[in-house]
Amino acid sequence: MGKQVTGLSRGDGLEPTAMSLLHKPLEFIHEDHLREREICARMDQIAQGSTVSASAINDVIHFLTRELPVHLMDEEQDLFPLLRRRCLPEDDIGKIIARLFRDHGHANEDTPGIVKLLEGLVETPRTLEDAESGALATYASHARRHLILENAIILPFARLRLTGADLETLCIRMCQRRGINHLQESDDAEGPS
């Protein structure tokens, strides 16, 4: 495909990715990555002892418990298998995807503890212990390294190798995963032009 997508306004990562962007699934995934970077920045603020509102902490919890699992499914169940089918042997994409799967496994293992820590901070605001701060900072650091691989390698290969039919399939599956009836509801979510 290799075409640049134009006419999209980049989100600030402060809100979940707009469902109206699902008709461009690779851009939706990219926006999810921007959102995750913002969440990592908030986690760093919390880890450093900065004053962060309960609302901002709840936003991080929401991302970790609601948005991130769906995003990981988008990649694991659809994007990565499509790339394995379309990439050429010299692309050597299999090693990168294997590493990303391992990263996802670590995220799945570590997320419940991070969520529990954050829920405790919402319930009883306090200064974090060093180990807690370290756990938050490490989680955010691992997530950022993961995003670098996805943004620098996975998404460019997806733009280069996936066909129009692949992107349509990806779009349909991502809509289904979010309970949206393909593009009709995602277009409606955008509002009148």
pLDDT tens by residue, 183-193: 554 444 444 43
Mean pLDDT over residues 95-106, rounded? 95
| pLDDT number for residue 151 | 97
Residue extents of the structural domains in the chain: 27-190
Banded pLDDT at 181 (limits 50, 70, 90): confident
Residue 26 pLDDT: 98
- Per-residue pLDDT reduced to its tens digit, 35-87: 999 999 999 999 998 888 999 999 999 999 999 999 999 999 999 999 999 99
- Confidence label for 177 from pLDDT (cuts 50, 70 and 90): very high
DSSP-assigned letters across all residues of the chain: --PPP-SPPPP-SSSPPPGGGGGSHHHHHHHHHHHHHHHHHHHHHHHTT----HHHHHHHHHIIIIIHHHHHHIIIIIIHHHHHHHS-GGG-HHHHHHHHHHHHHHHHHHHHHHHHHHHHHHHS--PPPHHHHHHHHHHHHHHHHHHHHIIIIIHHHHHHH--HHHHHHHHHHHHHHTT--HHHHHHHHH---
Domain 27-190 CATH class label: mainly alpha
- Give yes or no for residue 134 having a pLDDT over 50: yes
